[in-house]
């Protein structure tokens, strides 16, 4: 059975790179009827952030990535880690190192001066026939693992193919600090082994950690999982993604008006593809995703693509869903008898829910001012007379005016009778109804507002002479 996990550190909010990793892990587990686990790597007590921890869970709930079982917290598993550290000590596969920080710093400076790779020199590593230094007073030791001194550490990466690390590149790294706290590479290995991970999908910034983790797996006799190291997401210029480029807290995307389906669709394509297909439902992702098809090179963040996808989903989800989503933005359409018409009209141009709310407000809220540029251009000497005459027509036909086509049916003959061009009538009406010249069809707006509200707004504009 396939078992995957997502294991964030709560030292900052969940960003889209992390969410993409979680999505890939989720899809691969679900596609294979396996298990997807969520583990919070919170052993770094100095950097942990309670708000960040809550934000990770909130983000998962928002995008709908369900995980199996309870959330695992590394901070609650310290006794397990200590048990395995002691096992390695007892088996002679790890040892106490009393080298002080000052000695270690001096060693590294010497190595760098000699153009050598900084690494621990094995001073406290027990060997047959070797005499260790006298244990100094006042130094709490770290625990180092005995790394192999010769050969290669080889594994097949599902994305990058065969990976080789020379053992000479990996020193006897620390697996427990002087305060007894285990280190990242150690706890990750223990957790992945005990949780029986079969596939570990993660960013390729973890690639160099893999050799160290394999050393721990093998020292404890654990099965080594399959690794897939996913290239990073870069900005359009090929550099590291920054907040300005889109490296935001996942929940910022909700606040900016993105639908979770659009964000997941966007992320699944940032590093993976299925031919030229751009739109993927969750069912299609589950059917098609395979981590062996992840691109070997970094992907580029493209905000225009995300907006395009979001606009697609806004147009295609149900109006009932949109009405529910809009509540988050303090836009409430429950009980409005023209809710369907409002949403059908407003969502056509909206790329985000924020834009959708603004489009709705532009129709429903009585304008408090009129666009000066538009008024100057479209409100002429005869405009008021035209509007008053048009209002008389609407008054006569008001009992027949319900749909946009009803308004169209009486307006076209009016325009022909008075030999008007469409903008001569429609732009002043549009300004009167919404305050500006950029708005949807006047027929649709009038149908939504109804005759009485249309009459009120046009008369108000006439009385104020469009604030000219």
Question: Given strand 174-176, what is the order of strands in its sheet?
Answer: 94-97, 142-145, 174-176
Give which of 94, 96, 85, 86 is closest to 190, Cα–Cα: 85
CB 200 within 8 A of CB 174: no
Alpha helices in 229-347 (DSSP H): 250-255, 260-268, 282-288, 303-316, 319-326, 339-346
- The DSSP-derived string for 419-460 is T--HHHHHHHHHHHHHSSS--S-HHHHHHHH-HHHHHHHHHH
Q: What are phi and psi of 62, to 5 degrees?
A: -65, -45
DSSP 3-state of 80? helix
The reply to whether 468 sits in an annotated binding site is no
Cβ count near 5 (within 10 Å) = 26
Provide the sign of the torsion angle of the four alpha carbons 365, 366, 371, 374, taken in this order. positive
In angstroms, the CA 461 to CA 428 distance is 9
What's the N-to-C CA distance of the chain in angstroms?
73
In angstroms, the CA 187 to CA 183 distance is 6
Largest Cα–Cα separation, the chain: 111
Residues making up the annotated binding site are 243
Residues making up the annotated binding site for ATP are 243
């Amino acid at each position: 059975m396939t078992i995957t996990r997502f294991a964030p550190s709560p030292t900052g909010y969940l960003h889209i790179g992390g969410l993409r990793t979680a999505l890939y892990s989720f899809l691969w587990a679900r596609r294979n009827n396996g298990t997807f686990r969520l583990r919070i790597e919170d052993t770094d007590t100095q950097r942990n952030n309670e708000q960040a921890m809550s934000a990770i869970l909130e983000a998962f709930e928002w995008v709908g990535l369900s995980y199996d079982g309870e959330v695992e917290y590394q901070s609650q598993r310290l006794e397990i880690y200590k048990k395995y550290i002691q096992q390695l000590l007892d088996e002679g596969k790890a040892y106490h190192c009393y080298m002080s920080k000052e000695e270690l710093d001096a060693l590294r400076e010497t190595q760098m001066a000699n153009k050598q790779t900084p690494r621990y020199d094995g001073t406290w590593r027990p060997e047959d026939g070797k005499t260790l230094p006298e244990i100094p007073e006042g130094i709490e030791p770290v625990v180092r693992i005995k790394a192999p001194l010769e050969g290669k550490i080889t594994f097949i990466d599902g994305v990058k193919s065969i990976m080789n690390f020379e053992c000479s590149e990996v020193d006897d790294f620390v697996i427990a600090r002087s305060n007894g706290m285990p280190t990242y590479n150690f706890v990750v290995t223990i957790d992945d082994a005990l949780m029986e991970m079969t596939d570990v999908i993660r960013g390729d910034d973890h690639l160099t950690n893999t050799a160290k983790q394999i050393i721990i797996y093998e020292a404890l006799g654990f099965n080594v999982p399959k690794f897939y190291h996913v290239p990073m997401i870069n900005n359009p210029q090929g550099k590291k993604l920054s907040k300005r480029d889109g490296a935001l807290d996942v929940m910022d995307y909700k606040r900016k008006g993105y639908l979770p389906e659009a964000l997941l669709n966007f992320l699944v394509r940032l590093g993976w593809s299925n031919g030229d297909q751009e739109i993927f439902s969750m069912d299609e992702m589950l059917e098609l995703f395979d981590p062996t098809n992840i691109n070997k090179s970094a992907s580029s963040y493209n905000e225009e693509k995300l907006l395009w996808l979001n606009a697609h989903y806004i147009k295609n989800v149900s109006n009932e869903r949109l009405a529910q989503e809009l509540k988050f933005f303090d836009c409430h359409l429950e009980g409005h008898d023209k809710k369907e018409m409002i949403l059908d009209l407003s969502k056509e141009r909206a790329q985000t829910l924020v834009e959708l709310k603004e489009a709705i407000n532009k129709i429903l809220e009585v304008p408090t001012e009129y666009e000066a540029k538009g008024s100057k251009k479209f409100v002429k000497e005869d405009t008021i007379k035209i509007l008053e005459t048009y209002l008389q027509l609407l008054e006569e036909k008001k009992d027949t005016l319900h749909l946009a086509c009803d308004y169209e049916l009486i307006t076209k003959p009016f325009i022909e009778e008075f030999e008007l061009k469409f903008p001569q009538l429609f732009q002043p009406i549009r300004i009167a109804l919404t305050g500006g010249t950029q708005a949807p069809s006047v027929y649709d707006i009038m149908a939504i507002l109804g005759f009485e509200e249309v009459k009120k707004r046009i008369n108000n504009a006439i009385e104020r002479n469009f604030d000219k």
